[in-house]
Amino acid sequence: MYYNNKDVRVEEMPVPKIGLGELLVKVNASGLCGSDVMEWYRIKKAPRVLGHEITGEIAEVGEGVRNYKKGDRVFVSHHVPCNKCYYCLKGSHTACETLHRTNYDPGGFAEYIRIPEINVDRGVYLLPDDMSYEEGTFIEPLACVVRGQRLAKLKPGQTVLVIGSGISGLIHIAFARALGAGKIIATDITEYRLNAAKHFGADAVINAKEDVPKLLLELNDNGLADLVIVCVGALSAAVAALNCVSRGGTVLYFAVPEPEVMVPVPMNDMWRNEITLMTSYGAAPDDLEIALNLMKNKRLVLTDMITHRLSFDEGLLGFRLVIEARDSIKVIFEPERRM
């Protein structure tokens, strides 16, 4: 149960009761996302059970469910679109009001969760037999990355700069490499994560405390980056990205600052050089399907990014590891694990 970033408790609550068309899923693994520790974002609805990167086993099947059975191994998407509103019909599924309202009950950091009928209809995916529960927790974060790079129209051979080498930055690096990016350069402020960036596919790294645009020009024969992907919410990162993108290039804000923080944009320079500034949020069903298939076919193997496997009793430790961003990459909660 999340109260704030320094107050995460283990509490007893009833196993959810399911109704018509619903599923009860026993959670086997649940990934801790960077968005889970964005206190300004989460505190408004606290106390609550967070967690949205889950895999598990179907423990109970509601009346009317036809495509799933007890014992099935599944990944479940927490947000699902209506597929019929204006936004869905034009391909902007993550702008759908239904997607923003849907979720499972109570949240992925629980032993059992109730899957509402709409999520059962369009948000439950059977895990391949050879895919572990912990590997399946990467489906949702990879799908978000797939969406971002798809919208940004990354082309083979292009230079990519990833600002921030936490878990989302590392997945962006791995996916850009799989798509055939030319040179991939990553930044961060910790040596641990800079080394991780090199391990997972970056050609070169830059400490973000240095003069990034200057060093980028020295590392890249083609000049600045065709695509800059911002994977950290600091204002300094949002501003730095604008100085690192080449003419005709794109800046993808995968992470953004807090709502009250305004990013100063040199609009004249952006106009003169035809720079595209864009964002991406979440993942749509097509992105989830792509992510699942990439992992199923071993195009991307991401489990080496897991640095910590924790029990629920170690919940506060998990949050601290992600917040401090020092010697951790991916933190996984496993309800059956004991300290």
Question: What pTM does this model have?
Answer: 0.96
On whether both 271 and 192 belong to a single domain, the answer is yes
CB atoms within 10 A of CB 124: 20
Q: Indicate which CATH number applies to the domain containing 270.
A: 3.40.50.720
Looking at residue 202, its pLDDT comes to: 98
Positions of the chain with pLDDT lower than 50, given as ranges = none
- Do 165 and 184 touch, CB atoms closer than 8 A? no
Q: Give the C-alpha separation, 78 to 101, whole Å.
A: 10
* Shared-domain flag, residues 6 and 134: yes
Q: Identify the pLDDT of residue 330.
A: 97
Say if residue 59 is in the same domain as residue 151: no
Same domain, 325 and 246: no
pLDDT tens profile 280-316: 999 999 999 999 999 999 999 999 999 999 999 999 9
User: Same structural domain for residues 240 and 327?
Assistant: no
Number of domains in the chain: 2
DSSP structure string for 174-215: HHHHHTT-S-EEEEES-HHHHHHHHHTT-SEEEETTS-HHHH
- The answer to whether residue 293 sits within a structural domain is no
- Looking at the DSSP assignment, which residues form a beta bridge with residue 187? 163, 206
Q: Can you give the pLDDT at residue 94?
A: 97
- According to DSSP, residue 48 is labeled B
* Domain carrying residue 17: 2-138+302-333
State the pLDDT at residue 326: 87
- Tokens coding 138: 């990467």
Structural domain includes residue 296: no
Evaluate whether residue 102 is within a structural domain: yes
Residue 294 falls within a domain, yes or no? no
Is residue 284 included in any domain, yes or no? no
Same domain? 166 vs 110: no
Does residue 40 lie within any of the structural domains?
A: yes
pLDDT digits (tens, 9 = 90+) for 114-165: 999 999 999 999 999 999 999 999 999 999 999 999 999 999 999 999 999 9
Q: Assess whether 150 and 110 both reside in one domain.
A: no
State whether 250 and 324 are in the same domain.
Answer: no
The dihedral through the CA atoms of 285, 258, 255, 195 has a sign that is negative
From the list 231, 179, 188, the residue with the least C-alpha distance to 206 is 188
Q: Check residue 337 and give its pLDDT.
A: 84
Task: Specify whether 48 is located in the same domain as 10.
Answer: yes
Structure tokens at 248: 């005709």
Q: In the prediction, which pLDDT does 66 show?
A: 94
Q: Is 28:57 a contact under the CB 8 Å cutoff?
A: yes
Same domain, 92 and 173: no
Task: Provide CB contacts within 8 A for 41, sequence distance 6+.
Answer: 35
Check residue 339 and give its pLDDT.
Answer: 62
Dihedral angle sign, alpha carbons of residues 121, 123, 127, 132: negative
Do residue 124 and residue 202 come from a single domain? no
Is 327 contained in some domain?
A: yes
Residue with tokens 């991307």: 300
48 found inside a domain = yes
The answer to whether residues 32 and 101 belong to one domain is yes
